[in-house]
Amino acid sequence: MSAPLQGMRVLDLSQQLPGPYATLLLAGLGADVTKVEPPAGDASRQLDPQMFAGVNAGKSSVVLDLKSDPDRERLYELVREHDVLVEGFRPGVTERLGCDHPTLQRIRPSLVYCSISGMGRTGPLAAHPTHDISLQAMAGILGGGSEVTRIGVPWVDLATATSAALAITAAWHAGQGCYLDLSMLDAAVAWARAKPSALEPGPEPTYGTLRAADGGRVVIALLEDHQWQRLCRALGWDDWVDDDDLARYTDRRRHGSRIRARLDESVGRLTVPEIVVLAKDFDLSIGPADAADDPASQQQIALRFPGEQSLPLPAALLRPLGPAPALDQHSTGG
């Protein structure tokens, strides 16, 4: 079967993560992606070379200084040959550089133009600089009072990228040029609202990490009522198995601190291997929190990402893409 997006030609003017990951998803589905970089290159070449290599695999690189007339004309030539353009500039920049949607639409009316910004194109904060953690704060994710020094996986960036790739794919298949206005704020607020209870104060009684007797950690992700009963039996909580006050998830949330304290005590008497066996015997969603060294976890990942494949793509999109390009590797000299 041919790749679903075979024949799609994409110009990617974006940098760092949201735009480049969106076009990597498109490339994983068969699109041909040309990365248009400024003379200094995508900033992530220096800020995070490992991330750059992953999210720009298989793309071409062309350097254009859009502040110069000759390079701007070269961009217009490329637009005539491409179906999709992705940009991640702050509002107002594309107009100054002459690569805004109205200008490029006149050159190629069928162009799918995707604009990714932090806050959107209008509003009091539209021009305000932002990153992933800033949008998490606006969406209410960072509430609770604890200090944050890093965010780990930048899920707002990746959510924005995934939404952009989906919208681009739909627009391209529709066969008509259009303007797609996506913001990171959209993704942050939409995903936060998808599960409002996640923002409620207080601990999830049976959801999170726990310390075992041998000093290792386990992660528990147990929400369902039938799993709660199995957990009670596994840990010998006979007094709670049929307790109507704890039978439903909403009830357990009200008693979160009490349940959590007992869970800490019970798990703290067992080693990680003992907990893993218990979880298997009672069919519980509990496993090693430090799963990078867990053989079963690594075997499962290897099945989904076979061989030496390390691209940051869902397994269903994996296909040979080649390495990320060197800066201006595919320029023809204009």
Q: What is the pLDDT along the chain (334 residues), one digit of tens a residue?
A: 567 899 999 999 999 999 999 999 999 999 999 999 999 999 999 999 999 999 999 999 999 999 999 999 999 999 999 999 999 999 999 999 999 999 999 999 999 999 999 999 889 988 888 889 888 888 888 776 667 777 788 999 999 999 999 999 999 999 999 999 999 999 999 998 887 766 666 678 899 999 999 999 999 999 899 999 999 999 999 999 999 999 999 899 889 999 999 999 999 999 999 999 999 999 999 999 988 878 888 888 787 777 655 677 776 666 678 888 899 888 865 4
Between CA 230 and CA 234 the distance in angstroms is 6
- Domains parsed from the chain with CATH numbers: 9-196 (3.40.50.10540), 207-293 (3.30.1540.10)
pLDDT digits over 116-163, tens only? 999 998 899 888 888 898 888 888 887 766 677 777 889 999 999 999
C-beta of residue 5 within 8 angstroms of C-beta of residue 31 = yes
Phi, psi dihedrals of residue 197, rounded to the nearest 5° = -65, -20
The total of other beta-carbon atoms located within 10 Å of residue 91's CB is: 16
| Active site amino acids | 157
Residue bearing tokens 């010998």? 236
pTM score: 0.86
- Taking the C-alpha atoms of residue 320 and residue 268, their distance in angstroms, rounded to an integer, is 46
Q: Which residues contact 113 (CB under 8 A, 6 or more apart)?
A: 84, 85, 87, 101, 104, 105, 177, 178, 179, 180
